[in-house]
Amino acid sequence: MTQIPAGWYPDPADPSGTFGQRYWDGRQWTEHVHQGASYAVPGRAATTPDGQPLSGWWARVGAYVVDQIVIGIVAMLIGFPQLRAVAHEYAVFFQETLQRPASTSALTSNTQLTADIAGPMAVLALITLVVGFVYNVGFLKWRAATPGKLLLGLRVRRRDVAGPLPWGTVLLRWLGQSWPSFLSLVPVLGLLVGFYPILDDLWPLWDGKRQALHDKVAGTNVVRR
């Protein structure tokens, strides 16, 4: 007997055509239905194995932008003393640059500026990392979504199992996305890992399961609700 592959098919329980399609998981009909006459594209997973629709890439980008704005604002409020210290050092640097004779080398001043702002910048980076951790891990465990995802009607779930996200899944997902932050201030090494966030964000565009790299680490999908 030929097994019918998983996918969206005309709903056998809806002869009136109200829903249009029902998801077949390869063994049985599921409770997932939706309107429309278009069917899943062969070879491209548009749903989780149990039929929940996956998020599109642009919706994920929109949610990410919202979340980064919120995290940035909170981090700047907490780290305002460090921001003020950095601004002060830059003000002093520009003032000295304007007053310095044209024949004087700027190398010493540039080196001094870098040394003066290194401490405050490191503290700001640490504050941003901690705020991002509390924000992402806290909201994913509580609501299975960050505020950005909630705003756009998205949720995070384990790909193969519905239900609340375990702590291990939430922590792995955050670590899979944020690990370059631990190396960002390390000379040379920080530059080498700088490409990872871009690759991670773009990965769902060509991935058959629409997972980013951090989704693959944690075994999750971003879905529409």
What does each C-alpha distance from 210 to 21, 159, 191 come to in angstroms? 21, 11, 27
Mean pLDDT of all residues in 129-148: 96
Instruction: State pTM to two decimals.
Output: 0.71
pLDDT for res 108: 56
Least confident of 19-33, 77-91, 94-108, 110-124: 94-108
CA-to-CA distance for 172 and 154, rounded, in angstroms? 19
Contact 36, 21 (CB under 8 A): yes
User: Rounded to the nearest 5 degrees, what angle is found at the Cα of 81, between the Cα atoms of 126 and 115?
Assistant: 65
Helix H or strand E encompassing 66: helix 57-78
